[in-house]
């Protein structure tokens, strides 16, 4: 059993032997899987739990924002793919979309592209052996409507909370750094 980071201030509940963290404790780490945390890795476990809830909140947001834009049957990956295809108004290949979105399973992105093509939000064009994707005018309108709703519901609240975006930029840099750490750990786990 991992050692609790505040073992000096933690008392045990007599009935259940669960830790009780007193009100004067500096703070209690919030983790989803205490059994995974070693005595020196509590911050990593807190970070992971933060990523879990942020991931679910972000995916829920994307789906609901797209629904509010008038497109109800799209997953969060469909929304990400649409915005990536629309980015910089350039045609993109499946492999490029997967690379930028950091998606390993190309078939999931391919399925999203098929849905977007069927919905007339994305067009496909074959050039030689490659297939290139671009947003249609309907797809560009969907992205614009998404942006309007994002401005109304999310960005306005963000501006009220954060006056300077430097903290958020530092967090984004940390997330990119941590994704590299998790990628390396994934490669190591695969070779076990």
Residue 7 corresponds to which tokens in the numbers above? Answer: 């073992």
Is residue 34 within 8 A of residue 42, CB to CB? The reply is no
Instruction: Give the whole-angstrom CA distance, residue 81 versus residue 106.
Output: 12
pLDDT attached to residue 111: 98
Which DSSP string corresponds to the chain? -PPPTTTTT-EE-TTT--EE--TTSS-----S-GGG--TT-HHHHHHHHHHHHHHHHHHHHHHHHHHHTT--S--HHHHHHHHHHHGGG--EEHHHHHHHHT-S-HHHHHHHHHHHHHTTSEEEEEETTEEEEEE-HHHHHHHHHHHHHHIIIIIHHHHHH-SSTHHHHHHHHHHHHHHHHHHHHHHHHHT-
How far does CA 162 lie from the centroid of its chain? 20
The encoded tokens of residue 101 equal 């979105």
Domain 72-161, CATH among 1.10.10.10, 3.30.420.40, 2.30.180.10, 3.40.640.10: 1.10.10.10
Which pLDDT belongs to residue 50? 92
Which pLDDT does position 18 carry in this prediction?
Answer: 57
Q: Domain residues of the chain, as ranges?
A: 1-68, 72-161
Could you give the angle at which helices 42-68 and 137-150 cross, rounded to 10 degrees? 120
Q: Which tens digit of pLDDT belongs to each residue from 68-122?
A: 999 999 999 999 999 999 999 999 999 999 999 999 999 999 999 999 999 999 9
Query: Which position has the higher pLDDT, 156 or 120?
Result: 120
Dist CA 166 CA 15 (whole Å): 47
């Amino acid at each position: 059993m991992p050692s609790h980071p505040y073992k000096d201030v933690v008392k045990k509940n007599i009935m259940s032997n669960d830790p009780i963290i007193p009100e004067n404790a500096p703070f209690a780490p919030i983790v989803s899987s205490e059994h995974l945390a070693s005595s020196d890795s509590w911050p990593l476990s807190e970070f992971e739990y933060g990523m879990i809830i942020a991931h679910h909140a972000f995916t829920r947001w994307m789906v609901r924002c797209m629904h509010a834009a008038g497109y109800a049957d799209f997953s969060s990956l469909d929304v990400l793919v649409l915005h990536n295809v629309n980015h910089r108004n350039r045609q993109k290949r499946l492999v490029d979309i997967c690379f930028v979105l950091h998606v390993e399973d190309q078939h999931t992105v391919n399925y999203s592209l098929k849905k977007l093509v069927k919905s007339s939000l994305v067009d496909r064009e074959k050039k030689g052996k490659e297939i290139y994707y671009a947003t249609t005018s309907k797809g560009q309108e969907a992205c614009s409507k998404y942006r309007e709703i994002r401005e109304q519901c999310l960005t306005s609240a963000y501006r009220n909370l954060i006056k300077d975006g430097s903290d958020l930029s530092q967090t984004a840099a940390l997330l990119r750094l941590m994704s590299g750490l998790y990628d390396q750990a994934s490669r190591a786990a695969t070779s076990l």
